[in-house]
A = this chain, B = another copy of it.
Amino acid sequence: MITARRTEEVRRTRSRIVNQTIGFVPTMGFLHEGHLSLIRRAKQDCGFVVVSIFVNPLQFGAGEDYDTYPRNEKNDLNLAQEAGADLVFLPGPDEMYPKPMSSSIRVEKGTDILCGASRPGHFDGVVAVVTKLFNIVQPDFAYFGQKDAQQAAIIETMVQDYHIPVTIVTSPTVREPDGLAKSSRNVNLTAEERKKAPAVYRSLEAAVDQMLSGEDVKDVLAVCSSRIAAETGGQVDYVELCTWPELKRAGQVKAGEPLLLACAVRFSKVRLIDNIIFTA
């Protein structure tokens, strides 16, 4: 496995790969089973797999957890190699942002709800770094986790908007045995919070069941939100239902229409998200 810290090293390696498809798994590191499942999937699909590890400052707002976002480079490299990565790109902030950006990509559709509403500018930072990484790696396929469903939908839209020659593949969320969605941020839960956190997913599952059985969407969302707050002790940022992958707020469940039920919950040191995509 090659490790590269500089864009030029990636480009050099990339230019030698002609007859293999290239799979790309962009990550912020502190790899867990969710990332590894994406790398393994990429390795199944593609001849050459690139993983990037970069905690992107541009997608963190003021007061968010950029500084406390967990990092463990050495362990990440071992895990990535075991999972099948051929090249790991570990740029520093100076490599990705050698000077202030002169332009910005503003994502206008699909960002007025969910994390787009509660983290203003977050997705502009995400698409900026993903655009940079796509241009550096030039993959054929790029892999994203469904846990970040809004991110995956927005990147798919960006790919269509700009005719980017990359196929986006979204893979299912990987969960702990108790249902908690795997996340690098889970290590920043207190022991007490960790015990209670599985109630997030349990509550979402219950809400989906209620909606499928015909209960009023607004009522179900309110109950779900209260339940998450009560059972986890966290502060609910949002519990919302929207169309998938268009990300328009949905007021009712229509047969055959894919829907995304998503939530974000603030704990003492960390904010977690989770979601379920379902179709009635």
Contact = CB atoms under 8 A, between A and B. Distances in A.
Interface size class of chain A, counting residues whose CB lies under 8 Å from the partner chain:
20 to 34
A109 B105 contact: no
A138 interface: yes
B157 A103 contact: yes
Task: Name the residue among A103, A108, A131, A165 with the largest chain B CB count within 10 angstroms.
Answer: A103
A127 interface: yes
Nearest to A159: B135
A116 to B, nearest CB: 12
Given A135-B162, A135-B164, A103 B105 contact: yes
A107 interface: yes
B163 A7 contact: yes
A11 B7 CA distance: 25
A104 B102 CA distance: 14
B161 A101 contact: yes
Contacts of A165: 11, 135-136, 138
A16 to B, nearest CB: 12
A75 to B, nearest CB: 27
A59 to B, nearest CB: 15
A107 B138 CA distance: 23
A32 to B, nearest CB: 28
Interface of A: 7, 11, 18, 98-99, 101-110, 127-128, 131-132, 135-136, 138, 154, 157-158, 160-165
